[in-house]
Amino acid sequence: MRIAIVDSGVNERHPHVQGVAGGVGLSEDGESTEYVDRLGHGTAVTAVIRALAPEAELFAVKVFHDKLATNVETLVRAIDWSAANGMQIVNLSLGTPNTDHQDLLCEAIERAAARGTRIVAAKEDRGVRWLPGSLPGVVPVMLDWDCPWDQCHQRDGVYYACGHPRPIEGVPVERNLRGVSFAVAHVTGVMAALWRATYSIQPPPITKSAS
């Protein structure tokens, strides 16, 4: 199972990550082999996926550099890179409410699907509709704070999970990162674990909570 985590890169020495299989850094200036996380978000997202799918091959696709923002062209390149490099799941713990980007993102989703790559992303949060998570062909995710940490569930075609990252010893949960970004990571991790255990070609739909 190969999973691309499109985010701020990763600190692969973090004890909750314990290494990645590779990665890439993408920016307006081009492409590089540098994917070290200097913002922390990508590492926290990767740690959730590592906990839930420990045997997956994780790849860092860095699109956030000095802040948690990028442009749609770089995001599209990240999706295309992931599909071209054989990723079965792309975790997008990010999104945009700007509908002007819809056509470009739809085309990228279609190209990825043609290569067998599935994208997991946030559909909606606090009343805001996000792209690409609300577009056809994407696994859409929303928050359910009551969902157990290692589970997710599906209702009306939407996948729900809690928004907590992995606990950090000595840090109260209310002071840690939280939000729909981590619900996306939970769904990616559970889907990857189910896919690996049950299917060899097509990823399974998540129709009930995983135990």
Indicate if the alpha-carbon torsion angle 129, 132, 135, 139 is positive or negative.
negative
Structure tokens given for 164? 């907590």
Tens digit of pLDDT per residue, the chain (211 long)? 899 999 999 999 999 999 999 999 999 888 999 999 999 999 999 999 999 999 999 999 999 999 999 999 999 999 999 999 999 999 999 999 999 999 999 999 999 999 999 999 999 999 999 999 999 999 999 999 999 999 999 999 999 999 998 876 766 666 667 899 999 999 999 999 887 665 544 544 443 333 3
* HSE (side-chain half, CA atoms, 13 Å) at 36: 3
Whether residue 209 is contained in a domain is answered as no
Whether residue 182 is contained in a domain is answered as yes
Whether residue 203 is contained in a domain is answered as no
Whether residue 129 is contained in a domain is answered as yes
Whether residue 33 is contained in a domain is answered as yes
Whether residue 22 is contained in a domain is answered as yes
What is the CA angle 99-105-109, rounded to 5?
140
CA distance 119 to 137: 8
CA distance 187 to 204: 12
Tokens 């985010």 belong to which residue?
7
Whether residue 211 is contained in a domain is answered as no
DSSP class of residue 33 equals S
180-198 vs 41-52: helix crossing angle, rounded to 10 = 30
Could you list the residue range(s) of the whole structural domain that residue 10 is in? 2-198
Quick check: pTM over 0.85? yes
What CATH number is associated with residue 107?
3.40.50.200
Structure tokens given for 137? 């062909």
Residues forming a β-bridge with 161: 143
Tokens 């004890």 belong to which residue?
15
Whether residue 97 is contained in a domain is answered as yes
**Number of structural domains the chain divides into:** 1
